Amino acid sequence: MKRFLEKMSDIFYPRRCPVCQKILKDQKRMICLQCETMLHPIGHPRCFKCGKPVEKGEYCRDCQKRKHMFEQGRGIFVYDSSMRRSVTRYKYYGCREYGDFYAKAMYRYAKMELREWKPDLIVPVPVHRSKERMRGFNQAAYLAERISRYTGIPADMGLVQKNIKTKSQKKLNALQRRKNLEMAFCVTGDVRGKDILVIDDVYTTGSTIDAMASCLKKKGAENVYFLTVCIGRT
């Protein structure tokens, strides 16, 4: 029965490539062969702190200028035009299955960092309940749940809540983004002495991750790391 339902789902709702959006000939794949050969994770050199690609040196310009609240982090892909379109479809247009590809890539390409960080707990960046109702899901929680399955590290979806409905971060500069997120998050559980891995879809200025790290550390978290699908350029 389960196999029959899966076949019906493939017929009426065929899986599409998360990059080019073409229907996958092999429905067991998560990305088409052509896009798989073109899409590469960010390699070295990259910023030691946030993982942005750099031409030289240990740190990107942003991490040289300002002190971040997190210890270290990594985005898997550059947030270019193709990935921007992909993430937009994932978040706003019901292409939830793209998250399966993202989560697998995050686990595959960040294995070394995960071994080094040894997080005790995985926590997604929360969205305000009104946005979650509108989208139908929290895109970061979807990723966190799957990464938890791959790694065996427990995930707590409700540990951090977003209790203030903030403006969209898209058109704000770095200072405005930090101000926009002040007091936006609250921790609802015990994190004393724990190393936390924060999961989100995109890292641009780091304001969201910093706000998450700040509220977690105020409640006693030892170290805060992050992992995202994409990260902006310096």
Task: Write the pLDDT tens digit of every residue in 105-160.
Answer: 999 999 999 999 999 999 999 998 888 788 889 999 999 999 999 999 999 999 99
Say if residue 19 is in the same domain as residue 79: no
Say if residue 46 is in the same domain as residue 26: no
Per-residue model confidence (pLDDT) at position 12: 52
Rounded Cα distance between 207 and 10, Å, is: 39
Say if residue 94 is in the same domain as residue 15: no
Per-residue model confidence (pLDDT) at position 1: 45
Per-residue model confidence (pLDDT) at position 78: 97
Say if residue 53 is in the same domain as residue 18: no
CATH number of the domain to which 108 belongs: 3.40.50
Give 7's pLDDT tier (boundaries 50, 70, 90).
Answer: very low
> What is the tens place of the pLDDT at every residue in 164-218?
665 555 555 555 655 666 667 889 999 999 999 999 999 999 999 999 999 999 9
End-to-end CA distance of the chain: 50
CA angle 154, 67, 42 (to 5 degrees): 60
Say if residue 113 is in the same domain as residue 29: no
Structure tokens at 219: 């409640």
Say if residue 3 is in the same domain as residue 67: no
Say if residue 8 is in the same domain as residue 115: no
Say if residue 159 is in the same domain as residue 190: yes
Say if residue 102 is in the same domain as residue 143: yes
Say if residue 55 is in the same domain as residue 83: yes
Per-residue model confidence (pLDDT) at position 59: 96
Give the domain extent around 189: 41-231
Looking at per-residue pLDDT, the higher value among 193 and 6 belongs to 193
Per-residue model confidence (pLDDT) at position 233: 86
- The string of DSSP codes covering the chain is -HHHHHHHHHHHS--B-TTT-PBPSSTT-SS-HHHHHH-----SSB-TTT--B-SSSSS-HHHHHS--SSSEEEEEEE--HHHHHHHHHHHHSS-TTHHHHHHHHHHHHTHHHHHHH--SEEEEPP--HHHHHHHSS-HHHHHHHHHHHHH---B-TTSEEE-S-PPPSTT--HHHHHHHTTT-EEE-S--TT-EEEEEEEEESSSHHHHHHHHHHHHTT-SEEEEEEEEE---
Per-residue model confidence (pLDDT) at position 94: 87
Say if residue 54 is in the same domain as residue 108: yes
Our count of domains for the chain comes to: 2
Give 9's pLDDT tier (boundaries 50, 70, 90).
Answer: very low
> What is the tens place of the pLDDT at every residue in 33-87?
999 999 999 999 999 999 999 998 999 999 999 999 999 999 999 999 999 999 9
Say if residue 144 is in the same domain as residue 111: yes
For residue 88, pLDDT over 70 is answered with yes
Rounded Cα distance between 38 and 96, Å, is: 22
Give 6's pLDDT tier (boundaries 50, 70, 90).
Answer: very low
Per-residue model confidence (pLDDT) at position 17: 97
